Amino acid sequence: MKYKLKVIIGSTRPSRKGPIVADWFLKIAKQHPDFEVELLDLKEINLPFMDELEHPRAQKYANAHTKKWSKTIDNADAFVIVTPEYNFGYPASLKNALDYLSIEWADKPMGFVSYGGVSAGTRAVQELKLPVTTLGMMPLPQAVNIPFFTKFINENNVFEANEPLDKSANVMLNKLQAWAKALKGMREENN
């Protein structure tokens, strides 16, 4: 059985490097035999700041963009967020995307690929774990943290990882698959 893995690019800044990092990670994820992988770029999805009247738990969505986002997230079995670190935290666009929904996120695992300077985006990931846990997700302790990430981007804007980064991506994906299997079984039992 293949699990539906959604890889979310969290930054929407014009100068962002998230797509470059995500391209590298996608190549590894698509080689994993248990995942069907889809990229979700929040810049392309372009959700406005939360504009629904009802609380997301009610799932009484009025706007087409929310209904589409709900369907996209609901049919996933697992997620990986690719995020930079902005001022010791994660991008507002990512918080907005998480806050749009509630039930659709629940009982699914979440992995993280973070990038930054000396901290490798780890503070952004730590900050993300609170809303992710509150939404009923399982944030993985295994993650890909890329310090001084620009040194891995070549003159053609291609991310060239080293062996430890490739290994950490595979370790995280294997753990993500195990959690996706367990939580999908739990969701099916509860329906």
Greatest Cα pair distance in the chain: 50
Q: Which residues pair with 6 in a beta bridge?
A: 38, 79
- CA-CA distance, 66 to 52, in Å (whole number)? 8
Domain ranges for the chain: 3-190
CATH tag, 3-190: 3.40.50.360
- CA-CA distance, 152 to 11, in Å (whole number)? 19
Query: What are the structure tokens assigned to 136, written together?
Result: 């009923």
- For the full predicted model, state whether its pTM sits above 0.85: yes
Query: What are the structure tokens assigned to 158, written together?
Result: 């291609």
User: Going residue by residue through the chain (191 aa), what tens digit of pLDDT does each one get?
Assistant: 799 999 999 999 999 999 999 999 999 999 999 999 999 999 999 999 999 999 999 999 999 999 999 999 999 999 999 999 999 999 999 999 999 999 999 999 999 999 999 999 999 999 999 999 999 999 999 999 999 999 999 999 999 999 999 999 999 999 999 999 999 988 888 77
